[in-house]
Chain A
């Protein structure tokens, strides 16, 4: 059984016990334990059930590569599925639950899948569940959803309780990985004067070295790590961040770092995760290597672990996964595990070394300790269900005849080491096959390149395929020097620290154990634990023609899900290569994509949640609107009041009341959001003549003109009133959504096409609060405020004037979007609220009524005025809307003019704007289509027009609409049918779009 031993445990503090819960049971661990080490210390071998077959699974690894030990962590608003027990530091009160089991971890009915496993082979989704078709929905899908998948999604009703943030950092050299290689390359680069940032994903520096042994400059690795850390901390240009993973390497030296600040201590205030958005001139990936499992039957039974993980649990956490551990290997490194176990007083009944002649110095050391070593040997199969019971031994060269059964409760396996090339590869770094190590390693000649075309990623240490301690150190020094030099520093060649460790004999690649294993054995030899992919599945895929490694991945699910094949990758593609009779490098790898391990959604969102999820733009009167019950409408990032419903009043009723109050007496609109762009210069008139379809250069100072703006492809994009301020200066009003866009449009043409024109623009939208005072009593109100003459003669329709009203400095535009007598009054924004309050107070005698955007829309529709975004949708030209009067015939050119002469634009069959009135007075549906005879080639009803705006007009007490209709203006009075939801149709008459006061008598008073 797995248990805590009395010695070792360099990372735990035995004086600080920690209690936590697993599946409701209270367990004890120590400060410094990971959840995996603490569970093993409590003999919790079985941690979850597998994805497809619900087979019992236990811890395999000791780090971020762990495929099996995934748990649901936390509860309620802090629950997260699929958390790796191996990278979870325990704390008081931690609660974890196992996944993928029903009804319980120990008794799982899904194990039935195990019995059916022959139906669940590669491509089973594609093959099994296609026929009969109706079975998919009612039988297969519910079955698959219930039994497959990883973990459970959090309750959608709860909200993440934690805070997150981003941080932008810039550095010359970014070192990812705080093992010996990372520390040494950071030291070398920093000594050369480079600014260095080092990220280490775990809480500890040093990587594997303190576990693996050897000496550095005669020191124990742990002592050397301490010394290196002290030197880095003392350097002013260097910073080390632990618990921070290099998640992804992107274009031009952009790197994401994922800092886990409080996962190990959730009661600490402050952000839980911080996403580092780093820009580095050079990136050193000192990301180490991952040990490969061996493919033998039963290699997924709890208790079968990576040899390095067994060593880690013993040395780092004082945990032994078993009393009797059999070591199975194809290389020397695993001997370290056997030696460590025996030195800790545990039993190693046998080391099965697949190599015919065994290993080197480490084998000799093991033998000297009295450990039995069998060379040319294989683990034929492991026996056991929820934990290892015994291993059957045969010869590696054979087919699986069992020569001997050895009883044991753990197996430490090692198939060699694969450099972690993920971060090297993210941004295009290429790999080369190292036949000696049977692994891919970075190809330095094909490194990722940056904005200057030069390489910006350097792999160091084991991540570069340097495995012996002396090679690691030399390699790291070189990486540090190269990085510092490339980043502009002056690195002087320095000697690497001396690394001493036993010399190792070469490994022998082993992709199947034993090499001739029969099908029954291959069907129980797992490649990918997380996705339940076996050797036989990959072989089947190859047999069925899935020759590309990317296809095989999709077909078999090899290398998918949360671990993305960290353990299975090389074994899987070696199996594929063998099945295809190809070389491994020719088969290649699947693409490595960021993040290295999953990062939280919260970290990605950063600060963007709640009130600051996105900017909400507020006018100076926003607070009044809020206090007065505004029903909001989002317009771009603005919030505009849609209407101001009173207590007990529906929104629709409020809109109707606002329209009638304005038409009959006096309304008030916050028009501050309308764009106000100042355009000045000797060429300003000429410039606006190009921007607008109208002639603006002829506008007289003091006057206003409504104008249309098109894009270069002719489509109407914005409209608004232009006021000429003086000979050189214009003020262009845009739509609310158009202010920034139109300002950018102006700057684009000025900067990139007419750069010799003398014109300057300023977007002054927010300098002013603007209020529309609208209705028959509008003038009376302004006269009551006093300060300037607003009479018809002094301020005629489509004129503007500066002055003051009730002591406020104002600019008054006499323009109307409602057909009423109307003044739009601009005051400096900081006076907006006071001016608004003043208007309300003074207008009380006329029952002054603030109105929202819907009343605005209805009133403009009653007048037949178009609205950008309703009548236009990016495919409509002004000519479609009967706006030919606003298109100058005198101008040689304006933006969009040439496009409007294209054949499709001049096609008489283009739908044109008309008014629409239902025969029964009802309101047409928004977006309804006018139906035509017959159907098209797809069997759909033909159409001859569509509704662009539709409202119930409280003024006329009937439905009114505008729409684009084939030959519309020539069909006045004709009745056509519109869709009305489903097969329902409603009849409407084509009429003039100006429904109200066609002579303009109301505004012209």
Chain B
């Protein structure tokens, strides 16, 4: 729909890394027992991925699943398909004990691209971002400066950061500030 307006209208910043507000990311919160076979099967049917293990991510193209807690997963898909997929999954799980909510509009998603993305995140989150501690395939829910956030790495030079929509401007502000071109720490790049 042409009326779709992102929190920041697709802002971007170039510094230690390139930061871009993604133009819509389909996100569906699934709450329920992630080991329940009927739930795993329904997710596989609708999203084409199985449910990930603790703090892991599983991707299949544009679709994916992120482990959020023992009874919560965040399912990813193209933005335009989110409501339909949420409805489809909810219908499949009508008998199962689960809650499915489309939260695509509740969040802002930023892509960080560049070799120094570990450093940019490590300025904001109390998380060990060293390559031996955090790798693609993992997801971390934490705090970045003063707001709740989650992030994962798609590959060694790409990460996505999710926060609530209302604090998108704050998140973009702290990420851009941390990625200021003259502020490299060179802690991980050896």
A607 touches B145 (CB 8 A): yes
A270 touches B187 (CB 8 A): no
A277 touches B183 (CB 8 A): no
Chain A proximity of B134: nearest CB distance (Å): 10
A829 touches B105 (CB 8 A): yes
A607 touches B32 (CB 8 A): no
B102 touches A767 (CB 8 A): yes
Cβ of A642 within 8 Å of any chain B Cβ, yes or no, is: no
Q: B3, B103, B165: which contacts A834 (Cβ < 8 A)?
A: B3
User: Which residues of B lie under 8 Å from residue A165 when comparing CB positions?
Assistant: 123, 177-178, 183
Q: Mark A616-631, 1 if CB is under 8 A from B, else 0.
A: 1111100000000000
Q: B105, B128, B181: which contacts A767 (Cβ < 8 A)?
A: B105
B6 touches A830 (CB 8 A): yes
Q: Assuming the A-B contacts A767-B102, A834-B5, are A760 and B173 also in contact, with contact meaning beta carbons closer than 8 angstroms in the complex?
A: no
A239 touches B5 (CB 8 A): no
Q: Assuming the A-B contacts A169-B122, A271-B183, are A760 and B31 also in contact, with contact meaning beta carbons closer than 8 angstroms in the complex?
A: yes
Q: Assuming the A-B contacts A170-B133, A681-B99, A831-B4, are A766 and B107 also in contact, with contact meaning beta carbons closer than 8 angstroms in the complex?
A: yes
B-facing residues in A163-182 (Cβ within 8 Å): 163, 165-170
Cβ of A274 within 8 Å of any chain B Cβ, yes or no, is: yes
A608 touches B99 (CB 8 A): no
Cβ of B57 within 8 Å of any chain A Cβ, yes or no, is: no
Smallest CB gap from B79: residue in A: A830
Cβ of B84 within 8 Å of any chain A Cβ, yes or no, is: no
Cβ of A493 within 8 Å of any chain B Cβ, yes or no, is: no
B31 touches A762 (CB 8 A): yes
CA gap between A19 and B111 in the complex, in Å: 47
Chain B proximity of A427: nearest CB distance (Å): 19
User: Which residues of B lie under 8 Å from residue A831 when comparing CB positions?
Assistant: 1, 3-5, 105
Cβ of B13 within 8 Å of any chain A Cβ, yes or no, is: no
User: Which residues of A lie under 8 Å from residue B106 when comparing CB positions?
Assistant: 764-767, 829
A-facing residues in B116-145 (Cβ within 8 Å): 119, 122-130, 133, 145
Cβ of B37 within 8 Å of any chain A Cβ, yes or no, is: no
Q: Mark A452-466, 1 if CB is under 8 A from B, else 0.
A: 000000000000000
Q: Assuming the A-B contacts A269-B182, A829-B106, are A762 and B4 also in contact, with contact meaning beta carbons closer than 8 angstroms in the complex?
A: no
CA gap between A163 and B179 in the complex, in Å: 13
Q: Assuming the A-B contacts A166-B123, A767-B106, are A830 and B4 also in contact, with contact meaning beta carbons closer than 8 angstroms in the complex?
A: yes
B187 touches A167 (CB 8 A): yes
User: Which residues of B lie under 8 Å from residue A996 when comparing CB positions?
Assistant: none
A614 touches B31 (CB 8 A): no
Smallest CB gap from B82: residue in A: A828
User: Which residues of B lie under 8 Å from residue A760 when comparing CB positions?
Assistant: 31-32, 71, 97-99
CA gap between A768 and B4 in the complex, in Å: 13
Cβ of A632 within 8 Å of any chain B Cβ, yes or no, is: no
Cβ of A678 within 8 Å of any chain B Cβ, yes or no, is: yes
Cβ of A934 within 8 Å of any chain B Cβ, yes or no, is: no
Chain A proximity of B171: nearest CB distance (Å): 8
A-facing residues in B1-52 (Cβ within 8 Å): 1, 3-7, 24, 29, 31-32
Q: Mark A593-608, 1 if CB is under 8 A from B, else 0.
A: 0000000000000111
Q: B126, B146, B173: which contacts A168 (Cβ < 8 A)?
A: B126
Smallest CB gap from B169: residue in A: A618
Q: Assuming the A-B contacts A612-B145, A762-B29, are A767 and B5 also in contact, with contact meaning beta carbons closer than 8 angstroms in the complex?
A: no
Q: Assuming the A-B contacts A169-B122, A762-B29, A766-B106, are A607 and B101 also in contact, with contact meaning beta carbons closer than 8 angstroms in the complex?
A: no
CA gap between A611 and B1 in the complex, in Å: 32
Q: In this complex, which of A619, A678, A760 has the most chain B Cβ atoms within 10 angstroms of its Cβ?
A: A760
B170 touches A616 (CB 8 A): yes
A-facing residues in B140-175 (Cβ within 8 Å): 145-147, 164-170, 173-174
- For A, the interface residue count at a CB cutoff of 8 angstroms equals 54
Q: Assuming the A-B contacts A681-B99, A764-B101, are A829 and B165 also in contact, with contact meaning beta carbons closer than 8 angstroms in the complex?
A: yes
Cβ of A23 within 8 Å of any chain B Cβ, yes or no, is: no
Q: A762, A808, A832: which contacts B103 (Cβ < 8 A)?
A: A762
CA gap between A579 and B129 in the complex, in Å: 55
User: Which residues of A lie under 8 Å from residue B168 when comparing CB positions?
Assistant: 618
Chain B proximity of A769: nearest CB distance (Å): 8
Cβ of A24 within 8 Å of any chain B Cβ, yes or no, is: no
CA gap between A678 and B99 in the complex, in Å: 9
Cβ of A615 within 8 Å of any chain B Cβ, yes or no, is: yes
Cβ of A236 within 8 Å of any chain B Cβ, yes or no, is: yes
CA gap between A682 and B123 in the complex, in Å: 44
A167 touches B97 (CB 8 A): no
A608 touches B145 (CB 8 A): yes
Q: In this complex, which of A269, A758, A828, A832 has the most chain B Cβ atoms within 10 angstroms of its Cβ?
A: A828
Q: Assuming the A-B contacts A762-B29, A831-B1, are A277 and B126 also in contact, with contact meaning beta carbons closer than 8 angstroms in the complex?
A: yes
Cβ of A524 within 8 Å of any chain B Cβ, yes or no, is: no
User: Which residues of A lie under 8 Å from residue B98 when comparing CB positions?
Assistant: 760
A611 touches B173 (CB 8 A): yes
CA gap between A605 and B184 in the complex, in Å: 19
CA gap between A169 and B104 in the complex, in Å: 33
Q: In this complex, which of A638, A762, A768 has the most chain B Cβ atoms within 10 angstroms of its Cβ?
A: A762
Cβ of A386 within 8 Å of any chain B Cβ, yes or no, is: no
B-facing residues in A248-302 (Cβ within 8 Å): 268-271, 274, 277, 279
Cβ of B180 within 8 Å of any chain A Cβ, yes or no, is: yes
B166 touches A766 (CB 8 A): yes
Chain B proximity of A750: nearest CB distance (Å): 10
Q: Mark B55-97, 1 if CB is under 8 A from A, else 0.
A: 0000000000000000100000000000000000000000001
User: Which residues of A lie under 8 Å from residue B119 when comparing CB positions?
Assistant: 167
Q: In this complex, which of A163, A607, A616, A832 has the most chain B Cβ atoms within 10 angstroms of its Cβ?
A: A607
Chain B proximity of A163: nearest CB distance (Å): 7
CA gap between A830 and B3 in the complex, in Å: 8
User: Which residues of B lie under 8 Å from residue A336 when comparing CB positions?
Assistant: none
A762 touches B145 (CB 8 A): no
CA gap between A829 and B178 in the complex, in Å: 28
CA gap between A762 and B168 in the complex, in Å: 20
Q: Assuming the A-B contacts A239-B190, A682-B97, A830-B4, are A608 and B105 also in contact, with contact meaning beta carbons closer than 8 angstroms in the complex?
A: no
B99 touches A638 (CB 8 A): no
CA gap between A356 and B138 in the complex, in Å: 70
CA gap between A615 and B168 in the complex, in Å: 9
User: Which residues of A lie under 8 Å from residue B7 when comparing CB positions?
Assistant: 618, 620
Smallest CB gap from A169: residue in B: B187
A168 touches B125 (CB 8 A): yes
Chain A proximity of B2: nearest CB distance (Å): 8
Q: B24, B101, B128, B177: which contacts A612 (Cβ < 8 A)?
A: B177
B122 touches A163 (CB 8 A): no
B183 touches A612 (CB 8 A): no
Smallest CB gap from B167: residue in A: A615
Q: In this complex, which of B29, B71, B101, B181 has the most chain A Cβ atoms within 10 angstroms of its Cβ?
A: B101
Q: In this complex, which of A612, A618, A638 has the most chain B Cβ atoms within 10 angstroms of its Cβ?
A: A612
B173 touches A612 (CB 8 A): yes
CA gap between A868 and B146 in the complex, in Å: 26
CA gap between A169 and B183 in the complex, in Å: 16
Cβ of A985 within 8 Å of any chain B Cβ, yes or no, is: no
CA gap between A617 and B147 in the complex, in Å: 10
CA gap between A269 and B180 in the complex, in Å: 10
Cβ of A833 within 8 Å of any chain B Cβ, yes or no, is: yes
User: Which residues of A lie under 8 Å from residue B29 when comparing CB positions?
Assistant: 762
Chain B proximity of A802: nearest CB distance (Å): 12
Q: Assuming the A-B contacts A607-B177, A638-B166, A765-B106, are A167 and B5 also in contact, with contact meaning beta carbons closer than 8 angstroms in the complex?
A: no
CA gap between A274 and B122 in the complex, in Å: 12
CA gap between A166 and B125 in the complex, in Å: 10
Cβ of A243 within 8 Å of any chain B Cβ, yes or no, is: no
13 other A-B residue contacts (CB within 8 Å) besides A607-B174, A830-B5, A834-B5: A163-B183, A170-B128, A236-B190, A239-B187, A239-B190, A271-B183, A279-B128, A612-B170, A612-B174, A619-B166, A766-B105, A828-B104, A831-B105
Sort A-B residue pairs by CB-CB distance and give the 8 closest, nearest first: A270-B182, A834-B3, A269-B182, A617-B166, A829-B105, A760-B31, A760-B99, A766-B106
What are 12 A-B pairs with beta-carbon distances under 8 A? A167-B119, A168-B125, A236-B190, A271-B182, A608-B146, A758-B97, A764-B103, A766-B106, A766-B107, A766-B166, A828-B104, A830-B24
